[in-house]
Amino acid sequence: MRCPSCNHVEDKVVDSRLTRGGRTIRRRRECLACTKRFTTYEYVEHEPLSVRKTTGAMEPYDRVKLLRSIGTACAKRPVSLAMIEELVDRIEESLEATDKREVSSQSIGELVMQQLRALDQVAYVRFASVYRNFQDTTEFMEEVRELVSKAQYRARGQQELFDPETKSEEG
């Protein structure tokens, strides 16, 4: 690895450790010419994942887009950006575990709903309402009724669930 200070190409590794839950290796290196230290990271390169939309169109998997649509569902909820990042990490791990290079947007949506349901029920209902696009209205309304009766939401709480500002353009 070329030294960022003097461009010399020989170095020695002085420290090596696992980071990000074992998914990357961080190495501290020391230049053999100028003795300056620098850091490199090593990680597994995955084949790019393609997402099949409900229209049949294919598009590359986009982490930022997924973060944004979950973030919209979590607006004003006690869910931090770090929690959303972790949620997406778990989804990506389960997608990588299947070893498929193609996944339907529906499968990703189901994974998000599973995770959100455990994390925040209001965010879950918001995401589900946008994601499912009210196509299975009966099932969806039963789900909402169940959540509403559980939490004993008053009229104000129900209004918050369906705040039109929380809708995204996700389809």
Residues in touch with Zn ion (CB under 5 A):
3, 5-6, 8, 31, 33-34
Identify which of residues 34 and 141 has a Cβ nearer to Zn ion in the complex: 34
Shortest separation between residue 3's beta carbon and Zn ion, angstroms: 3
Rounded Cα–Cα distance for residues 53 and 117 (Å): 23
CB of 60 closer than 8 Å to CB of 50: yes
Give Cα 98 to chain centroid, integer Å: 17
Q: Which is nearer to Zn ion, 11 or 143 (CB)?
A: 11
Q: Is 70 exposed, middle or buried (0-12, 13-18, 19+ CB in 10 A)?
A: buried
For residues 167 and 148, the answer to whether their CB atoms sit within 8 Å is no
Using the minimum distance from each CB to Zn ion, give the nearer residue, 3 or 70: 3
- For Zn ion, the closer of residues 39 and 54 by Cβ is 39
Q: Nearest approach, Cβ of 34 to Zn ion (angstroms)?
A: 3
* Minimum distance, C-beta of residue 7 to Zn ion, in the bound complex (Å): 7
For residue 11, the minimal CB distance to Zn ion (Å) is 8
Q: Are 61 and 51 in contact (CB under 8 A)?
A: yes
